[in-house]
């Protein structure tokens, strides 16, 4: 096969490909390999492969050297340094290719970093964001964690309040102690009381033996009270006693028991407003709100959406045993235009839906839920309507002089003509 022909074929592959001669010089590089390494074809061909990849494996674990020595052919993960001096991780395998050698590799940098974090357990850097305000909050978390005082995390449902609670616990001196979580909105009042504070044998009909509550189970550690704003006034009074004195009284008991527990609370309500309405005790609010952490909704940090999409695709590929490579530009733009009332949780659900219909390759618009497309269409109609009204108003003011109208709109006449045609203005 002529070189031009196989060059064309190689450029259509998703994987990076290098064809390397026996002197370890590059004879061919495809488009995918150029994108991964940052080197164009004319910069790479004729150079030694280790000059382009700059990998530790080039001297210690070269797959071509291994094959030359008769060792078993195997796929390895190596770190390389690209043209911009950024570290990347690739999965690479080598094969004989006529009188030459071929290395096939794929960029697994994001997957490698995510997997490494997951295996090591949750760390502060696992909070996914590039939002400036949220990064400021994150930078303060180590100090907050070490302080041992109660923390109140505020934010809409689905923004990841539990993720921040977990980060605070793992950064604290109690990181190796119990971490107990409860959703206060998920249980009726009587059951929530017995879950939190425990009960003694005979406290009620089904109380056949003593049961320690979650505060006892969390002793020396941390308790996370999610949706704390849903507590009744009765439970609030008992919680206040724990926070102020470190004492609990189980149901059916008259004797207080000492506990040492750090309290982290979360709510999707504005608790200061709930205090004004008389729905939440003011004294408890101030005891829980020693440190306040406000998590902005996803619609206010749209720059994080591509990061979450990459993260969820990586995790969903594992769960569904698929090889989805990413998301198309059109589908991404559609998701960027959506407002996410359900925040990060809703974005994950959208991608879960897409995985049902996307078998391989990229997630496209057709794979997304219908309501996303409908809302986007409605938004575009509203924007077009407003733009049409604005243009008509200016045209009428200048008696349909298009040159003056374009000046007032801050656009040129050609752009005005194009907009008028699109919006049906004549």
Torsions phi, psi of 270, nearest 5?
-90, 100
Q: Is the residue at 306 inside a domain?
A: yes
Structural domain includes residue 176: yes
Domain's final residue, options 51, 77, 107: 107
**The pLDDT of residue 262 is above 90:** yes
Q: Is the pLDDT of residue 127 over 80?
A: no
Find the domain containing 391 and state its range: 382-423
Average pLDDT over residues 261-288: 95
Domain co-membership, 228 together with 311: no
Same domain assignment for residues 226 and 275: yes
Residue among 301, 298, 354 at smallest CA distance from 157 = 298
Q: Are residues 161 and 288 in the same domain?
A: yes
pLDDT digits (tens, 9 = 90+) for 74-96: 778 888 888 888 888 888 888 88
Query: What pLDDT score does 34 carry?
Result: 92
Number of separate helices (H) and strands (E) present in the chain: 20, 16
Residue 72 DSSP symbol: P
Same domain for 210 and 243: yes
In whole angstroms, what is the distance from residue 408 CA to residue 181 CA? Answer: 59
At residue 382, the pLDDT reads: 60
CA angle 120, 362, 309 (to 5 degrees): 40
Tokens standing for residue 214:
């979650």
Look at residue 223 and give its three-state secondary structure: strand
Neighbour count for residue 339 (Cβ, 10 Å)? 14
Confirm whether 377 is domain-assigned. Answer: no
Cβ contact 339:365 at 8 Å: no
Q: 131 and 90, same structural domain?
A: no
My answer on whether 155 and 215 are in the same domain is yes
Q: Are 255 and 295 in contact (CB under 8 A)?
A: no
Per-residue pLDDT tens digits for 354-387 = 999 998 899 999 999 998 888 766 666 566 687 7
- 260 versus 424: which is more confidently predicted? 260
- Whether 156 is covered by a domain: the verdict is yes
Q: In this structure, is residue 267 part of a structural domain? A: yes
Q: Pairing relation of β-strands 222-226 and 179-183?
A: parallel
Decide which of 242, 274, 296 is a domain's last residue: 296
> Smallest Cα–Cα separation from 243: which of 338, 170, 159, 148?
148
CATH classification at residue 19? 3.30.450.20
Confidence at residue 315, expressed as pLDDT on a 0 to 100 scale = 83
**CATH code of the domain in which 232 resides:** 3.40.50.300
Residues 361 and 389 in one domain: no
pTM for the structure as a whole: 0.62
Give the CATH number of the domain where residue 396 resides: 1.10.10.60
* Percentage of residues in the chain having pLDDT higher than 90: 46
Q: Give the pLDDT mean for 118-127.
A: 51
pLDDT band at 173 (very low <50, low <70, confident <90, very high): very high
Query: What single-letter DSSP state applies at residue 147?
Result: H
364 with 394, same domain: the answer is no
Q: Which of 139-153, 369-383, 399-413 has the lowest mean pLDDT?
A: 369-383
Q: How many domains does the chain have?
A: 4
For residues 46 and 191, membership in a common domain is answered with no
Give dist(CA 76, CA 57) in Å, integer: 9
CATH value at residue 310: 1.10.8.60
The C-alpha angle 10, 65, 12, rounded to 5 degrees, equals 5
Among 52, 86, 107, the domain-final residue is 107
Is the residue at 374 inside a domain? no
Torsion angle defined by CA atoms of residues 117, 120, 121 and 127, in that order, rounded to the nearest 10 degrees? -20
- Are 91 and 7 within one domain? yes
The answer to whether residues 131 and 272 belong to one domain is: yes
Domain-embedded: residue 133: yes
- The encoded tokens of residue 378 equal 């409605």
CB 234 within 8 A of CB 193: yes
Is the domain of 167 the same as that of 134?
Answer: yes
Residue 252 forms part of a structural domain: yes
């Amino acid at each position: 096969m002529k070189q031009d022909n196989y060059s064309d074929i190689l450029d259509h592959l998703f994987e990076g490909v290098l064809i390397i001669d026996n002197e370890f010089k590059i004879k061919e590089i495809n488009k995918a390999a150029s994108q991964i390494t940052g080197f164009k074809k004319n910069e790479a061909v004729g150079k030694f492969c280790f000059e382009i990849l700059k990998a530790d494996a080039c001297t210690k674990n070269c797959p071509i050297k291994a094959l030359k020595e008769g060792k078993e052919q195997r796929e390895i993960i190596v770190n390389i340094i690209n043209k911009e001096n950024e570290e990347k991780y690739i999965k690479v395998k080598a094969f004989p290719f006529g009188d030459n050698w071929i290395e096939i590799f794929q960029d697994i940098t994001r997957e490698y970093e995510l997997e490494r974090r997951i295996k090591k357990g949750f760390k502060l850097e696992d909070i996914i964001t590039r939002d400036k305000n949220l990064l400021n909050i994150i930078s303060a978390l180590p100090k907050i964690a070490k302080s041992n005082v109660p923390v109140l995390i505020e934010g809409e449902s689905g923004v990841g309040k539990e993720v921040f609670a977990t980060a605070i616990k793992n950064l604290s001196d109690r990181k190796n102690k119990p971490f107990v979580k409860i959703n206060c909105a998920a249980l009726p009042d009587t059951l929530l009381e017995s879950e939190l504070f425990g009960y003694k044998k005979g406290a009620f009909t089904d109380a056949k033996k003593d049961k320690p509550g979650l505060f006892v189970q969390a002793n020396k550690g941390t308790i996370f009270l999610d949706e704390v704003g849903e507590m009744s006034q009765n439970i609030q009074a008992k919680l206040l006693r724990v926070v102020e004195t470190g004492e609990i009284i189980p149901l059916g008991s008259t004797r207080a028991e000492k506990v040492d527990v750090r309290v982290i609370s979360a709510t999707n309500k504005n608790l200061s407003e709930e205090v004004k309405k008389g729905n939440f005790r003011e004294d408890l609010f101030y005891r829980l709100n020693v440190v306040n952490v406000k998590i902005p909704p996803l619609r206010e940090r749209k720059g994080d959406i591509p990061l979450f999409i990459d993260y969820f695709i990586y995790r969903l590929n594992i769960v569904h045993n698929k090889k989805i490579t990413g998301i198309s530009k059109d589908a991404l733009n559609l998701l960027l235009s959506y407002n996410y009332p359900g925040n990060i949780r809703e974005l994950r659900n959208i991608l879960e839906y897409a995985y049902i219909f996307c078998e391989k390759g990229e997630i496209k618009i057709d794979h997304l839920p219908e309501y996303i497309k409908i809302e986007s269409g409605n938004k575009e109609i509203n924007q077009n309507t407003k733009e049409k009204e604005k243009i008509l108003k200016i045209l009428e003011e200048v008696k349909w002089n298009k040159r003056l109208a374009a000046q007032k709109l801050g656009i040129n006449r050609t752009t005005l003509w194009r907009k008028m045609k699109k919006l049906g203005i004549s």
